[in-house]
Amino acid sequence: MFLKKEGSGIVVEARDSSERENLKQEAEAKGMSYLPLTIENFYPDYRGYRYFDLRNSVTRETFSIDHVLEAWEVDKKHQEGHEGTEDWFIH
């Protein structure tokens, strides 16, 4: 799935449809948009976005939509204060 907010996005792969639905609901509740993805439309449209595979137990333990949103806010504030730092912004 692709989760996006204000021009920034991430790709997240869930373990099953239940986990995918829970992530979708959490993301939408936090103001993010949701787009289901298949491998066919992942390449080339979403290649290069940060990717989180929740089938991996370590990723599953450490992944948090809140942490992603916080990181985007920090990067956005950094970008606002400096010209030419678009590469700092997660996209």
Sorted by where each begins, the domain ranges of the chain are 2-80
Lowest mean pLDDT among 23-27, 32-36, 79-83: 79-83
Mean pLDDT value across residues 44-64: 91
Q: How many CB atoms lie within 10 A of CB 33?
A: 12
In the chain, the N- to C-terminal Cα span, in Å, equals: 15
Residue 56 clears pLDDT 70, i.e. is over it: yes
Lowest mean pLDDT among 2-6, 17-21, 24-28, 71-75: 71-75
Mean pLDDT value across residues 50-62: 94
Q: Are 79 and 89 in contact (CB under 8 A)?
A: yes
Q: pTM here?
A: 0.77
- Please provide the average confidence, as pLDDT, over all residues in the chain: 86
At 59 the pLDDT is 95
32: buried, middle or exposed (CB in 10 Å: 19+, 13-18, 0-12)?
A: buried
